[in-house]
Structure 1
C-alpha cells in the first residue's frame, strides 16, 4: 500500500509541475510561430532586394535559428515525454488501487475502480510523438496532462474511500471481539457460579472420578458421605479451629494451589485436588471414608 501511495503522490506532483510548465507554453508556441514568420519575411525581403548584401542575408538566416532553434522544440519534446511517464504512473497507481479495493471486499460506497480508458488512449497516441508535428504533439500532451490530473484525483478519492472503509471495518472488528470476550467472560462466570453450588461440585466430582480414576457410583457414595461430613460440599468452608479449608478441608488450604491458582474461588479446583489426595493417601474414597469413620479425620 505504501508503494501505491508513493506512486500516487509522484503522479500528482508531476501533474502539478506539468500544469505549471504548460501555462507558459502558449508564449513559447507564439514565439516559435512569430519567429517562423519573421524568417519568412526576411527571406522574402532579401529575395526582392539583392542589393542588401551578404551581411544582411547572414543576419536574416540567423534569426530563425536563434528563436526557432533546437532548444524550444527539444523542450516541448521533453515535456511530452515527461507527461507520458506521468500518465503511465497514474494508470498504474489507479489499477493497483482498484485491485486492492476488490481484494479487500469492502464497501467503498461507489465504484471500486478509476476509469483510465481515455488516459490509456492518450498514452497510446503520445507514444507516437516522435513522428507527429510538434504543434500536434504539444496539444496532445496538454490533453494527456489534463486526463492524468483527472485520474490522479479519482485515485485519491478512491484511496480515501478505501481508507474510511478499512477504518470502519477495524472499528467493527474491535467491537465484535470485545463483545465476544465479554460474552465469554459472562459465560465463564455463570459456569463458575454453577460449578460452585453443591450440586455443581458433586457433578464435577462424578465426572472426574469416572474419567481420571475409573471410580463408579459406589465410590461416589462414599465420597459424598465423606465431604458432606467435612464441609457440606461448600467451597467456602473454613474450620476456624485448625484452618482446614474448602470442600476437602485441606490443611492448609494453600495446598490446593497445586491443582490451580483459583483454588480459593473454584469448587472444581478443590474437588480435583481432593480426589488426587484421596487417591494417593487412601487409594479410594471408600477407604478414606472408612478411615474418617474410625478416626474422625482423613
Structure 2
C-alpha cells in the first residue's frame, strides 16, 4: 500500500499536523468573537464549523444606554457636579428664594420649599405694612386737605367781614359828612338837590316847590305842634316807615323820602300838589 493512500484515524494518539496560519487566525477570531445574541445553539455550532462565515453578533440598545449613563456619571464627577447640582439647576426659583432670604437676613431652612414659603410670608407682611402706611398717608392727606379748606374758608369769611366793615365804615363816614353838609345847607341847596333828583324837570319841581313851601317852608327841622309831622315833607312817623327811610333831620334824606312817597301815592309831585290844592293835605 502506498503512503499517499494511507489515512490516520482522527482519534489516533500520534502527532497531529500543525494547523495552517489561516486556521489559527480563524480559531482565535471565533474564540474572541461574541456569539450572536439572537442565534440558536444549532446556528452557533454551524457558524463555528463554517469558520469565517460566522454570524455577526447583534448589538443591544440596553448596552449603549448603560454605557452612556456610566459616561455621564464620570463627566459629572470630573466637573464637580452631581445629583445635588442637578437638583439646584432644576430649581432656579428655589435658589433665588434662598438668595433673597439671605439678603433679608432670614435664616433659610434646608428645604428650599420651606425657605420660599417663609420668604413669601415675610413679603406678605411687608406688603400689608406698605398698604397700611399708604392708607395712613392717604388719611393724613385728606385731613390736611380738609384743614386747608377750612382755613381758606375762614380766611375768605374774615376778608368778607373786613370788607363789609370797611363798607359800613365808609357809609357811616359818608353819612356823617352828609349830616354835616345838611346842617350847613341852605334852602337853595335843597332846591338844587330836589331838581337834580327830578332829572331837571322844571314843571315837576315847580309843583314840588309850591307843595313843600306851604307844608314846611323847606325847613328840615319844622315840627307840627299838634302831630308827629316833621321835616320838609311834614311826614308823620307812620309815613316815614312806609318810605324805607328812617326819620331824620337831614334835609337831603327828607327830600329822598318825600319823592318816594309822592311817586308811589300820586305818581308825581304835580299829582300831590293837585290833591293838596283840592283837600288841603296830601
Q: Which TM-score bucket, shorter chain as reference?
A: 0.3 to 0.5
Q: Which has the higher relative contact order, 1 or 2, with Cα contacts under 8 A spaced 6 or more apart?
A: 1
Q: Which has the larger radius of gyration?
A: 2
* TM-score computed with the length of structure 1 as normaliser: 0.41
Would you tell me which structure has more helix in proportion to its own residues? Answer: 1
* TM-score computed with the length of structure 2 as normaliser: 0.43
